[in-house]
Structure 1
């Protein structure tokens, strides 16, 4: 099961509406059990859950990277939570494609109590006691986050297709929520490779 994904999210800020980005998104995370036409049955923490793709569903690939791939001025999205020492720790970092630079810029609450999503450019990286400290700059604000060996590091890649949607593939579906028993997917993140990101 997609267990490490429970409680974390990314990429909702890619949606066009800034107002929507201020609210924790409606997300279904899971591993594909079956594909029937436009319907995907996912293995989730709630059990088997069905979501439906629309004509307008945007598919995005998710590839694993290393911290060396995150250079100064890279535009990223960071899910972070405060540590007991008051230092924000990065749970996940995703690198945006260059043409999506500036999307959803800013920092906002995310879908786990106390967590935030920050979309910003990397301004500085320094070595810290427990990892690397990144300074993120957005508009007139900035945020410092600690990157540890447990931080999930991925890159968003455009061009994912429905041919990649097979049993065993891990996905994250941003949906419009249950409506008449149907969760229609606005955006689908497709994990490429044998790893489980903490998205």
Structure 2
């Protein structure tokens, strides 16, 4: 398996890889859905934690259509997502939430690789968080939902005419791995022990990878 430093282009997931934000996002779902039965919200949180790479738009729709078995209009999903985003911006621009290992690697190696963020988080919100934490300068682009991650990756490959052999995605969820497989690029699991399976390139500590 190739070492992370052998890839010219590195695509980064955000939640759980660059920032320890999953617990905060769980609180966001709890707040936005506080008027619904706790058992149903807990069911959503389990889905949320298992599918970190999916967007809030997918998760809110899952909550209503699969957990509550009722339909929901696109406008309602957007309203819930907007409320969620306001809560996130008030809580996530916080340096203490950054994962030191990955952020140190990014700061030390961004000149040696082309780096992009591909996240299930809302793209506009993510751009504000990265700007607020002085991270934007390290990435050629910051990409998020509502566009699905597999499509974000495909667009980056096409728009930049990247050789797929030179590209890997660092992620902490099965959704990240699936986006890599669909687009035929490398995948490096990180910060999720369940990704330590046969055939998965897993990074224990990014700071041990040196150019």
Shorter-chain TM band:
under 0.3
Between Structure 1 and Structure 2, the one with more strand by share is: 1
TM-score, normalization by structure 2:
0.24
Between Structure 1 and Structure 2, the one with more helix by share is: 2
TM-score, normalization by structure 1:
0.24
